[in-house]
C-alpha cells in the first residue's frame, strides 16, 4: 500500500476521506479491480491482477473537498471494469490531507501543498 491515508474498500463498504478543518483531500493513487489476495479477495480464481487506474475518477470526486464518500460498488468505477463482471472487485486508494492555498481557477483545481502539491485538469 502507498503512503498516506486510505486502504482497501471491499464490496458493500464505503470509502470515506476526511480531513481536519482548513485542510482538503488530495488523492494520490486509486485502483479498482482484483489487485491481490487479502481481505477483499480471498480466492484467486485465476483473475488476480486485473485492475484499472481510477485516479482521475476519485480525484475528480474527492480532491479539494474536506470530506468525500464513495460506496463500493460504484457505478462509475464499475464502468472501468478490467475483470469479468461476475467477480467482486474492490477500491484501493491513498490520499493525504493538505492545506488549501487556492481553490478553483478556470478548468483547473487548485491544491498547492507546501510539500509539492500537483495541479490536474478538472473535466
| CATH number assigned to the domain covering 5-111 | 2.60.120.740
pTM greater than the 0.85 cutoff: no
What are the pLDDT digits (tens) for 61-118? 999 999 999 999 999 999 998 888 888 899 999 999 998 764 442 223 444 333 344 4
Sign of the C-alpha dihedral computed for residues 70, 75, 81 and 85 taken in this order: positive
- Residues 99, 22 contacting (CB under 8 angstroms): yes
Residues, the chain: 123
DSSP 99: E
Instruction: Single out the residue of 115, 120, 122 nearest to residue 23, CA to CA.
Output: 115
Summarize pLDDT for 47-70 with one digit per residue, the tens.
888 999 999 999 999 999 999 999
The Cα–Cα gap between 98 and 26 comes to: 7
Domain ranges of the chain: 5-111
Amino acid at each position: 500500500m502507498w503512503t498516506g491515508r486510505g486502504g482497501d474498500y471491499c464490496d458493500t463498504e464505503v470509502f470515506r476521506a476526511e480531513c481536519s478543518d482548513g485542510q482538503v483531500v488530495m488523492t494520490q493513487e486509486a485502483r479498482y479491480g482484483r489487485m491481490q489476495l487479502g481481505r477483499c479477495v480471498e480466492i484467486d480464481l485465476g483473475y488476480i491482477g486485473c485492475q484499472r487506474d481510477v485516479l482521475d475518477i476519485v480525484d475528480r470526486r474527492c480532491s479539494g473537498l474536506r470530506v468525500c464518500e464513495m460506496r463500493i460498488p460504484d457505478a462509475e468505477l464499475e464502468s472501468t471494469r478490467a475483470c469479468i463482471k461476475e467477480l467482486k472487485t474492490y477500491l484501493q486508494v491513498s490520499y493525504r490531507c493538505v492545506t488549501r492555498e487556492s481553490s478553483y481557477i478556470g478548468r483547473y483545481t487548485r491544491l498547492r501543498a507546501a510539500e509539492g502539491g500537483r495541479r490536474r485538469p478538472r473535466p
